[in-house]
A and B are shown apart, each in its own frame.
Chain A
Amino acid sequence: MEILQSDVLQIRQPEDIVLVRTAVRKIAIASKLGLVDQTKLVTAASEIARNTLDYGLGGEVRVDMVRDARTGVRLTFTDEGPGIPDLERAMTDGWTSGKGMGLGLSGTRRLMDEFQIASKVGEGTTVTIAKWSR
């Protein structure tokens, strides 16, 4: 897989989530994703960026335009927050440790073509998602 373009954005305050949404929309258009897929990707980016801020105590996202057989967008969110003790539970629809709806992770997995999560208690969390053009 070839990386055509790459950018890193910080996620430190609520306004940064808006900047992430804007940057992801731009790269999704450049990668020739259709409107529905753009919307799914931006929504997923918003969910994971908010998790990075609220639970991961801030972090960053790498935004890659990638090419394999097709073009696509890959997003890698990393934080050095408390980590997730029970990943399976966190991925369950409706489970939240806070006041959320517990849909961010499970819903994002449904919206994306690729979804990976790695987390270690005390060290942090990395979420990688991708959406390919059709």
Chain B
Amino acid sequence: MEHIPILRMGEFLLITVQVDMHDRLAMKLQDDLTERIVRFGSRGVLIDISGLEIVDSFIGRMLGNIASVSRILDAETVVVGMQPAVAITLVELGLELPGIRTALSVERGMQILRREAELAGLEVLKDANMEEDGNPPE
């Protein structure tokens, strides 16, 4: 079944949304992500939406749900890479994405997550190995 890949980077999870998701795919991503946070005890989630040409109320609600559920599971969510035209449209639509932290780039999003994790008194691996879908590294 089609799915959006979730990369594990040390304490964090990284999702890059590159396709125009239909609603069921968006719901599946939400479920998969929740399961991963619990399984790996992840401290942060970074969602790169630079590949998304629109964010409508459904995707906006999904991002909000991910942020709320993550918070309850003690993980921070940062959404990065929103295209300017998407941001302008969201504001006019009336969607303010409350409770969602945003950053301009993956780099800056990671900085936020690292800082949050450090504040929480955690040891964060600076050069975390990338592993797809949480398979153990070679």
Contacts and interface: CB of A to CB of B under 8 A. Distances in A.
Contacts of B85: 35-36, 38-39
A101 B53 contact: no
B23 interface: yes
Contact of A43 (B20, B23, B24, B55): B55
Interface string B8-20: 0000000000001
A110 B57 contact: no
Contacts of A74: none
Given A101-B61, A110-B94, A111-B93, A43 B54 contact: yes
A14 B89 contact: no
Main secondary structure of the interface of A (DSSP, over half): helix
Interface residues of B, number: 22
Contacts of A42: 53-54
A103 interface: yes
Contacts of B138: none
A80 interface: no
6 interchain residue pairs of minimum CB distance: A107-B93, A39-B85, A46-B56, A14-B23, A14-B22, A36-B85
Interface of B: 20-24, 53-58, 60-61, 83, 85-86, 88-89, 92-95
Interface of A: 14-15, 17-18, 21-22, 25, 35-36, 38-40, 42-43, 46-47, 50, 93, 100-101, 103-104, 106-108, 110-111
18 contacts: A14-B23, A14-B24, A18-B20, A22-B20, A39-B53, A39-B83, A39-B88, A42-B53, A43-B55, A43-B56, A47-B56, A100-B57, A101-B60, A101-B95, A103-B57, A103-B95, A110-B93, A111-B93
